[in-house]
Amino acid sequence: MKTSRDALLLIAFRLFLQKGYEHTSMKDLVDASGLSKGAFHHYFPRKADLLNASIEHFFSRFLPDVDPASHQHFDELVLDCASQYSQLISELTRLDIPLASYQRFVWSILPDYSALFTERQRLIEVRLTLLAEQDLASQRLISTNSARSLAVQAMALIEGLGVLLASKPPGDWHAQGQQDLQLISKNWLEDLSL
């Protein structure tokens, strides 16, 4: 049986969601893959390697680029964050992974991986703050809130909508949830613009 690395990630990720990372053994992973133990270990020698690859594949790749050259204005980065979150939702739906299970998984691994998530979110917040400062100074944005407050509001808006989407049955939140995420983000930004 030929199994790709991405197929193994999906198998592992589904098991991590169903059983939790701590309760998923390497034997469970090997058995679910249909590969021999040696073939499986060729791809992922340790369960932690598989978790790290899963985090990258099912979380980190959906975080927007925060390179200073990638976004010139606050609204561009906010809409990129919303778009990336929408793509994550779409990917999870396409793979038939419940968003609530995904969020429980993320919360369960945060104690061990909080530095990774915290640093990435810090970078997004810093970049949002810098862009908000720039746009407030040029009056492209109008707000009595500080630039940092606008950055935190943007992040909370997108993450908060994600939590609301997770509380709905999968059929209800797929297309409509993605549209809501984009529309609400755009409406919030329009309220800050001239």
pLDDT in tens, 72-119: 999 999 999 988 888 887 777 777 777 777 777 777 777 777 677 778
- Give the range of the structural domain holding residue 50, as residue numbers without chain letter: 5-56
Amino acid at 168: K
CA distances for 61 relative to 27, 89, 159, angstroms: 28, 13, 16
User: Do 172 and 117 share a domain, yes or no?
Assistant: yes
**Whole-structure pTM value:** 0.79
User: Do 39 and 69 share a domain, yes or no?
Assistant: no
Mean pLDDT value of segment 172-189: 75
Sequence-distant (6+) residues with CB within 8 A of 100 are 166, 167
| Residue 135 neighbours by CB distance under 10 Å | 22
User: Do 172 and 99 share a domain, yes or no?
Assistant: yes
User: Exposed, middle or buried, 89 (CB in 10 Å: 0-12/13-18/19+)?
Assistant: buried
User: Do 22 and 66 share a domain, yes or no?
Assistant: no
Mean pLDDT value of segment 50-59: 83
Structural contact between residues 89 and 156, judged by C-beta atoms closer than 8 angstroms = no
User: Do 45 and 93 share a domain, yes or no?
Assistant: no
User: Do 88 and 149 share a domain, yes or no?
Assistant: yes
Q: How many domains does the chain have?
A: 2
Q: Is the pLDDT confidence value at 122 over 80?
A: yes
The model's pLDDT over 15-26, given as tens digits with 9 standing for 90+, comes to 988 888 888 999
| Residue 182 neighbours by CB distance under 10 Å | 16
Mean pLDDT value of segment 133-138: 96
User: Do 51 and 14 share a domain, yes or no?
Assistant: yes
pLDDT value of position 1 = 44
Does 191 or 163 have the greater pLDDT score? 191
Q: What is the CATH number of the domain that holds 9?
A: 1.10.10.60
Sequence-distant (6+) residues with CB within 8 A of 20 are 105, 108
What mean pLDDT is reported for the chain?
A: 84
